Amino acid sequence: MNETSMNEAGMSERRLSESERDDAYTRICLAITEAGPEHESLFLARLSLLLAEAVGDAQRVREAIAAARLA
């Protein structure tokens, strides 16, 4: 089931369900494998930019980048 919460601006934020997150992870892993080691970084950069555009919120993108650095 999808989770929805409210952000600080009072807007709803949709979260992926566990199965959706697992599916996304699997698809990303397969795409990285298909890109191969020589194109892995390019694929990840392009995917990141496309997802940042989909998010449409520069602050949330910055927070996600910071969170990824801590992982």
Number of domains within the chain: 1
Question: What does the pLDDT look like over 41-62, one tens digit per residue?
Answer: 999 999 999 999 999 999 999 9
Say what the pTM is. Answer: 0.74
In the predicted model, is pLDDT for residue 10 greater than 50? no
The span from the CA of 67 to the CA of 33, in Å, is 24
Tokens of 30: 């397969």
In the predicted model, is pLDDT for residue 9 greater than 90? no
In the predicted model, is pLDDT for residue 70 greater than 90? no
Tokens of 36: 């191969």
Which residue range forms the structural domain that includes residue 58?
Answer: 3-70
Question: What does the pLDDT look like over 17-38, one tens digit per residue?
Answer: 999 999 999 999 999 999 999 9
